[in-house]
């Protein structure tokens, strides 16, 4: 919908008209983030895409991001994370980033001020890492937060790829992605879950909601029939939906 003329619909084609050059992107994760700008500028609300740059594994060493106010006009944010700067990575096969955020401390921050975290795989069985935005902006850049993988190697037969971070708000009718992380609005602190897994196995583990960089509890295998990879969870009107890839 055109924000200047709500009665008019703006349309764009597929694939999305990303600014060039036009490499191949895959595995996009989408968000609608309201956030403050530099120097405490008024908050803005944009759509954000975090895809995989799909190329030869040796060339997949970074993640780009894209933002848009209207899903028509897009801005490229190049190299929001560069895995060649992460010593424990293999410097190849950067896959499927997932971004989540938590309010800046103290626990009662100004609205729209957040810390942003990216969860990512580096392929070759190395594991899943977590990086934090150095600017408290969804545009990054992101830097490795731990100096080691958050999930190390293979877990319960699952290759540590295709991570999705799912923030589950306590409100029973909350939909995935609705509103802000606000204990007063949402009815309490959310729980955070990390879903991942290739090689025909899906696994979930809880993430510490206070730090966003530590795990809680045990890994649990949740592999459904014919599962291959790409787990994805969403919540609508209190019902949880689990989607995944099947086939060869």
Kindly list the domain boundaries of the chain, sorted by start residue: 24-246
Considering the entire predicted model, what is its pTM?
0.88
As a whole number of angstroms, the distance between CA 39 and CA 35 comes to: 12
Q: For residue 66, what are the CA distances in angstroms to 17, 36, 52, 116, 188? A: 11, 17, 12, 15, 31
Tens of pLDDT, residue by residue, the chain (248 residues): 545 555 666 677 777 777 666 678 988 999 998 876 655 667 788 999 999 998 889 999 999 999 999 888 999 999 999 999 999 998 888 999 999 998 887 554 566 688 999 999 987 778 999 999 999 999 999 999 999 999 999 999 999 999 999 999 876 656 665 544 444 345 567 899 999 999 999 999 999 999 999 999 999 999 999 999 999 999 988 899 999 999 86
Q: With respect to CATH, is domain 24-246 assigned 3.10.450.30? A: no
As a whole number of angstroms, the distance between CA 201 and CA 241 comes to: 18
β-pair type (127-133, 142-144): antiparallel
Task: Give the pLDDT of residue 38.
Answer: 57
As a whole number of angstroms, the distance between CA 223 and CA 193 comes to: 16
Task: Give the pLDDT of residue 202.
Answer: 98
Task: Give the pLDDT of residue 14.
Answer: 74
Catalytic residue selected from 29, 159, 162, 229: 229
Residue 83 · residue 91 · CB < 8 Å? yes
As a whole number of angstroms, the distance between CA 47 and CA 23 comes to: 20
**Residue with token string 């530099």:** 38
As a whole number of angstroms, the distance between CA 51 and CA 43 comes to: 24
Burial of 2 (0-12, 13-18, 19+ CB in 10 A): exposed
Q: Copy the structure tokens of residue 7.
A: 């009665």
As a whole number of angstroms, the distance between CA 14 and CA 196 comes to: 28
Task: Give the pLDDT of residue 152.
Answer: 94
Residue 95 · residue 83 · CB < 8 Å? no
Q: Does the active-site annotation cover 184?
A: no
Q: Copy the structure tokens of residue 15.
A: 């694939």
Q: What is the DSSP letter of 43?
A: P
Burial of 107 (0-12, 13-18, 19+ CB in 10 A): exposed
DSSP for 165-212, please give it.
EEEE-SSTTPPTT-S---HHHHTSPPEEEEEE-BTT--EEEEE-TTTS
Specify the 3-state DSSP secondary structure of 15: coil
Q: How many CB atoms lie within 10 A of CB 75?
A: 13
Catalytic residue selected from 27, 113, 124, 178: 27
Task: Give the pLDDT of residue 21.
Answer: 63
Q: Does the active-site annotation cover 27?
A: yes
């Amino acid at each position: 919908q055109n924000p200047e003329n709500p009665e008019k619909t703006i349309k764009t084609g597929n694939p999305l008209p990303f600014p060039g050059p036009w490499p191949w992107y895959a595995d996009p994760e989408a968000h609608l983030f309201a956030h403050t700008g530099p120097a405490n500028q008024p908050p803005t609300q944009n759509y954000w895409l975090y895809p995989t740059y799909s190329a030869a594994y040796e060339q997949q060493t970074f993640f780009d991001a894209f933002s848009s106010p209207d899903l028509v006009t897009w801005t490229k944010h190049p190299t929001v994370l560069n895995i060649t700067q992460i010593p424990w990575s293999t410097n190849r096969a950067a896959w499927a980033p997932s971004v989540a955020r938590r309010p800046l401390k103290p626990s009662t921050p100004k609205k729209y001020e957040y810390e942003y975290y990216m969860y990512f795989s580096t392929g070759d069985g190395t594991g899943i890492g977590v990086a934090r935005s150095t600017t408290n902006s969804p545009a990054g850049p992101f830097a490795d937060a731990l100096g080691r993988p958050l999930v190390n190697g293979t877990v319960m037969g699952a290759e540590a790829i295709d991570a999705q971070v799912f923030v589950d708000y306590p409100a029973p009718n909350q939909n995935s992605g609705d509103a802000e992380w606000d204990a007063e609005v949402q009815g309490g602190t959310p729980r955070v879950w990390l879903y991942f897994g290739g090689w025909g196995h899906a696994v979930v583990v809880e993430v510490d909601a206070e730090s966003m960089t530590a795990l809680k509890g045990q890994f649990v295998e949740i592999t459904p029939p014919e599962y291959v990879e790409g787990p994805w969870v969403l919540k609508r009107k209190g019902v949880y939906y689990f989607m995944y890839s099947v086939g060869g």
